Structure 1
Amino acid sequence: MSFPLLNCGDGGTDPSELIADTNFSIELAFINHGTPSQDSALIAAADRWMSIVQGDLGDVDFSSTPVAANTCGEGVQNPEVSGTVDDLRIFIDIRPLDGPAGTLGQAGFCQMRTSSHLPVLGFMSFDSDDLGPIEQSGDFGALALHEMGHVLGVGTLWPDSDTLLVNPSLPSSLSADTHFRGAAAIAAFNAAGGTAYTGGEKVPVENLL
């Protein structure tokens, strides 16, 4: 089942201009909470991404063009969005989906800005029946960080990924030098402290699923 990908206006910020001394904001909107420790892991993941992403995007005002309820992710019962979003709102839905050992969940964005094509609304949906073992193994924090990256557009919003993503590894291949060679991505990686990176070509991309 697919869901609509809609566009909305913003202040016209160019992604290449986002390295600045301003703050990027991620708002987590819990539709269904997990355990306190699961919620804390998701909040920690948002804090981590906010410390990584440099720059501020223009607020998006949905007052004149509200986003309908239940349109952000398959099965996600998000409320109507009719106010202002700064910079990214992620709906969190932790509930039984298809039982243990089935679909763990899904994550992505459902609303993009028209000019910069960067996400403004997204979702993260997890099967509560599957999270117990992952949490007990200590891996849920890493999973939350990984999936939130997809909402931000990492791996899901890469134009020309057939030429810019080099050595994609599926299935997992630790020996592959998987990297993204977009010029703006390399510049941002260097600006974030990656100038001296010698582990392979830039920008390194996770190749272990």
Structure 2
Amino acid sequence: MTIFRALQQLMGGAWGLRLVGSLMAMLLVIALKACGGGGGSTPVSVIPTAPPTLVPTPTSPPAAQFTIDVRFPDTSLSPSQQSIIRSAALRWQQIIVGDQPNLPPTNIQANECDRGFPSTPLNFPIDDLLVEVRARNLNDERILGGSAPCFVRASNGLPFYSVILFNTQNLADLEGRGDLPITALHELGHALGFLPTVWEPKGLTAGLVGRDQPTPAGYDPRFIGLNAVNAFNTLGGNATSVPLENQFGAGSRDSHWRESVLGRELMTTRIDREVANPLSILTVGSMADIGYGVDLSAADSFSLGRGGGAAEPLELRELDWVMPIQRIDAQGRRV
């Protein structure tokens, strides 16, 4: 007797027949799967597979970067001259790497620092230093220009708005002789705070007389910031302070490294032409002393003394230009 008929007799009736049919269908499916599926085709699972869980790779936020925003409010500098100054700003951004707190919009108005500076109200955020650059006839072709901070952060005394002025009487010659890049780099150093007006409130100088006083006999002004002193001694000096310029008159005295000792360094009062004028660890160290985060490894190699170029040094005769520095707090208010 077949299995089907035995089950039919066992279960009896239509209901039993339906049940047996279902059982036979199940047996057929099992047999097909055991043999590799009907027609030899590869079995396909119909059980849904959960998609893989994608875990995002952790990423660090981009490192903060010190930014010098150089602006030219008029057309007094040519496009090529503007490009040279922007390149000098990029070089300083390799040296100064620590971000500064952004300044919110302020109520600083146009012309508060000097005629044309600022060119507009500073009613916008500033990150990190805004430098406006113009050129004018300064009525003395021996003067190359000048630079100074005008507004500083109340929290640390570092500039957030500075100005640079070039002399239209010699600007084209500076560019034509190839002296404008190093001059721009030098002036931006002052714009960043390489000046007694920034040093003295921080206690970084010793022996300076008032800027309106005549130079006394044996005058010996010094910079006493620890980072600069360590750099000076690394370069071959042997002192507890660094000599500042003690001659050459207003605009040079007190606000540069001493030419007779540090010769070719960028922040002396002369440019040695046809040779390098290095931005050395000495100047980088002084920037650390006033509060900047710096990268000493980005400094140029340097040794004490001038080591003379083939041409006469170019005197960086600068304006005796001291802005009335004002302090602004983190909310954009005057202090």
* Partners of 1:190 and 1:66 in 2: CA distance: 31
C-alpha contact 1:124 1:147 (8 A) present in aligned 2: yes
- 1:30 and 2:72 equivalent? yes
Give 2:297's match in structure 1, choosing from 193, 206, 209: 193
1:117 aligns with 2:117: no
Matched, 1:80 2:121: yes
8 A contact 1:31–1:77 mirrored in 2 = no
Q: Is the 8 A contact 1:134 1:140 kept in 2?
A: yes
Instruction: Name the structure 1 match of 2:21.
Output: none
Structure number with greater CO (CA < 8 Å, separation at least 6) is 1
Q: Alpha-carbon deviation of 1:131?
A: 0.6
Q: CA deviation at 1:87?
A: 0.5
Pairing 1:161–2:205 present: yes
3-state SS in 2 of match to 1:72: coil
CA 1:102/1:115 → structure 2, altered by over 3 Å: closer, same or farther? same
> In structure 2, the residue corresponding to 1:78 is in which secondary structure?
coil
Instruction: Give structure 1 stretches of 5+ with no counterpart.
Output: 1-20, 201-207
Map 1:86-165; keep pairs closer than 5 Å: 86-98=127-139, 101-156=141-196, 157-159=198-200, 160-162=204-206, 163=222, 164=224
**Matched-pair contact (CA < 8 Å) for 1:105–1:127:** yes
The aligned amino acid for 2:181 is G
Q: Which residue of 2 aligns with 1:54?
A: 97
Question: Offset at 1:198?
Answer: 8.0
Q: TM-score with structure 2 length normalisation?
A: 0.46
CA displacement at 1:72 relative to structure 2: 2.7
Query: Counting strand residues as a fraction of each chain, which structure ranks higher?
Result: 1
DSSP-derived class of the 2:169 partner: helix
1:140-169 CA distance string (max 9 Å, x none): 110001001101002342233224152223
Secondary structure, aligned partner of 1:71: coil
Cα RMSD, aligned residues only = 3.4
Alpha carbons 1:59, 1:86 under 8 Å: kept: yes
1:3 aligns with none
* Greater Cα radius of gyration, structure 1 or 2: 2
Pair 1:176 & 2:218 matched: no
How many residues get paired? 179
Which residue of structure 2 lines up, in the alignment, with residue 4 of structure 1? none
Q: Could you tell me how far 1:104 is from its partner in structure 2?
A: 2.6
CA–CA distance in 2 between the matches of 1:113 and 1:186? 12
Following TM superposition, the consecutive aligned residue runs of length 4 or more in structure 1 with deviations greater than 4 angstroms are: 171-175, 177-184, 186-191
Matched residues in 1 for 2:186 and 2:74: separation? 20
Q: CA deviation at 1:190?
A: 8.9
In the alignment, is the contact (CA less than 8 A) between 1:72 and 1:78 conserved in 2?
no
The share of aligned pairs that are identical, in percent, is 28
Letter in 2 for 1:39: Q
Q: What displacement does 1:102 show?
A: 4.9
Against the structure 1 CA distance between its residues 137 and 40, is the aligned structure 2 distance closer, same or farther, given a 3 Å change threshold? same
1:48-96 CA distances to partner (integer Å, 9 max, x unpaired)?
Answer: 111210110111012xx31111123455462111010000101111233
Cα distance 1:174–1:120, how it changes in 2: closer, same or farther (>3 A)? closer
Distance of 1:110 and 1:32 partners within structure 2: 19
Q: Say if 1:96 and 1:53 are closer, same or farther in 2 by CA, change over 3 A.
A: same
Q: Normalised by the size of structure 1, how large is the TM-score?
A: 0.71
